[in-house]
Chain A
Amino acid sequence: MFGKIMVLLLILLFITGIVTSSEWPMAARRFLLVAAIPGLVLSLLYLLKITKITTRRTAPAESPFNAHNIQDTEGPSNGALLDIRELYVFLWILGFIALVWFLGVPMGSTLFAFLYLRLASGQSWLTTIIITLGVVAFVSGLLVQVFRLSLPPGLIQW
């Protein structure tokens, strides 16, 4: 189902690309057509292929390296829980983006590292503080002060 949604999305994007490019000069549009038309045709073929098939669904080939093979310190995992965890990680990333937007990179990174280590990772206070100080030294000290790395400012200036 997920794959089908992805193909449909691709088809939609190829069609949108072809339609919206009609206002471009031909010299610019030519290349788009060279890519988008074959892309659309191939996507339609693939959609036809996956909707036609009624044979049994096969699992992806088992690879000797699979994240599931690695010892999970939190106990056995199950699919549903993992999806929620993935959502949590995305939310953490979004939160990090918001922090950087508000506070800028040095302060946002520090706060993110502290909160993630303490709340998501469940590290001890000592570990959290030591690693957070490491982040401060790396970002504010090394990158900003020593290397003078250009970083966009946050909404709140420090």
Chain B
Amino acid sequence: MLEAIIQAFLVIFSPTNFGLLVLAVLGGLFLGAIPGLGGITGMTILLPFVFVLAPDSAIILLIGLLAVVTTSDTIPAVLFGVPGTSGAQATIMDGYPMSKNGEAGRALGAAYTSSMIGGLIGALALLFALPVLRPLVLSMGAPELFMVALFGLSMVGLLSGKTPLVGLMLGLFGVMISMIGQDPQTGAYKWTFGQAYLLDGLPLIPVILGVFAVPELIDVAVFRKAIAARGSVHDIGRDMIRGIKDALRHWFLVIRCSLIGVGTGIVPGLGSDVADWLAYGHVAQTIRDKEKLGKGDVRGVIGPESSSNAKVGGALIPTIAFGVPGSASMVVLLGALTMAGVVPGPEMVTRHLTLTVTMIWTLVIANIMGCLMLLLLGGYVARLCYVPTQILVPLILVVVFISALQGTVHFADLLVLFVFGIVGWSLRKANWPRAPLVLGVVLGPIVGRYLFISMQAYGLDWLTHPSVLVLGAALALIITYSVWYAFRNKNLVEMG
């Protein structure tokens, strides 16, 4: 383990990887500061680099970006009352009033510092989880891994908030989509329609970009957002030191809220917004003098910000150990790992242990780097909010197109992008979750492979393995709950 820690440290500080990390952090800070974009859009655009770069470099790029998005999303939340991502919703409660009270710099200083500490605690949680997970994951055979993968698929229901049944349906449909192409085990052609393009299956990049990035771009293009009018960013540099001191003074609150974030991240389906609000609720419950809360109390900023950054480390735990992603961004990361030929599960704590530890180092360094950049360049970064998003639309669309074309470097990649763009947009219109569909496409081949191996090795006997029975019972419980929830909830009428 110690060897892996040192090796990963050297990997991350190689000139190329460190340069990539700096770029990723800058990209993440930019995306976080502009509402409507965010980490998933950034990660999907970066997906093609997974093919070009070595797996460790690609992971550094993706996690580096994801780690700091929830740091800079505070800027529009505090200054304009508009969260950069859903993970900064609760920050508005006290951050925006502080800004109105002339304490924007203090709020941002406290937010950046607590975000950084939260991110570090998330990384530490991931590090300490590894020795615990290692024997557990290594004890699993193909049948158990098949059941865990199925369990992961069933968790898509939980990723779906109020519509677990819809999440399950879409997850299973995603699995069906993943079957397109030549079957790796039997060689049979499945829905290839005589097209050579489809023999290797649908390329993941245009699928993910279509489902996640295209609907966001349409949203940005349609609403013609202007986040702030010019001149509305006041001098925010002065009070930042005071905010840093605030965060350090309330160190115990930072730690508690960070642990809430880690816990929320481990449980699939609880997004950044949940972590954010849970932490805010914790602040409200535990502080004695509540009069100022909601009117500009710095503790109302510190709590949610520590939590939302710590969540990333927590969410990585089930993703890399079991292939069960805790959030939509982890679904994209899982897709990236798969494309890089890295299968989540036992290999992540054996063959790819260095890669796993590289993720931890990336979290640590990206969080520190992101915080320092924002503290030093705070005022300038805040001016990102002036950028008219109408200018960004064609630029991002060009990048999305070029990224999609890296799927197979075939013109048909753009058609896949367009079709899945319509699919993603339709799901959004119907208020259906998009992550389960993509998770199905990503996990489909893994589930299929484990089923094939289980059947070849054990016939039907594997169904009677005790661990399989336990996981099967859990699976049945989740499905039953999803159906029961749908029928019980009278208000859950047809969405959209």
Indicate with 1 or 0, residue by residue over A70-89, a CB within 8 angstroms of chain B CB atoms.
11111001000010011001
Nearest neighbor of B91 in chain A, beta-carbon distance = A64
B464 CB-CB contact with A under 8 Å: no
Indicate with 1 or 0, residue by residue over A5-42, a CB within 8 angstroms of chain B CB atoms.
01100100110010011001101101110111011001
Contacts of B35 in A (CB 8 A): 65, 70
Chain B min CB distance to A15 (Å): 11
Contacts of A143 in B (CB 8 A): 402
Contacts of A34 in B (CB 8 A): 451
Nearest neighbor of A98 in chain B, beta-carbon distance = B414
Contacts of A71 in B (CB 8 A): 225-229
Total contacting residues, chain A, CB less than 8 A: 82
Contacts of B422 in A (CB 8 A): 90
Indicate with 1 or 0, residue by residue over B474-496, a CB within 8 angstroms of chain A CB atoms.
00000100110011001111111
The majority secondary structure among interface residues of chain A is helix
Contacts of B191 in A (CB 8 A): 20
A67 CB-CB contact with B under 8 Å: yes
* Cα(A96)–Cα(B411), bound, Å: 12
Chain A min CB distance to B455 (Å): 7
Given A20-B191, A151-B405, A46 and B493 contact (CB-CB distance below 8 Å): no
Contact B496 A72 (CB under 8 A): no
Contact surface of A with B, Cβ cutoff 8 Å = 1-4, 6-7, 10, 13-14, 17, 20-21, 24-25, 27-28, 30-32, 34-36, 38-39, 42-43, 45-46, 49-50, 53, 55-58, 60-61, 63-65, 67-74, 77, 82, 85-86, 89-90, 92-94, 96-97, 100-101, 105, 109, 112-113, 116-117, 120-123, 127, 131, 134-135, 138-139, 143, 149-152
Contact surface of B with A, Cβ cutoff 8 Å = 35-36, 82-83, 85-86, 89, 92, 162, 165-166, 168-170, 172-173, 175-176, 179, 183, 185-186, 188, 190-191, 214, 217-219, 221-229, 273, 388, 390-391, 393-395, 397-398, 401-402, 405-406, 409-411, 414-415, 418, 421-422, 425-427, 429-432, 444, 447-448, 451-452, 455, 479, 482-483, 486-487, 490-496
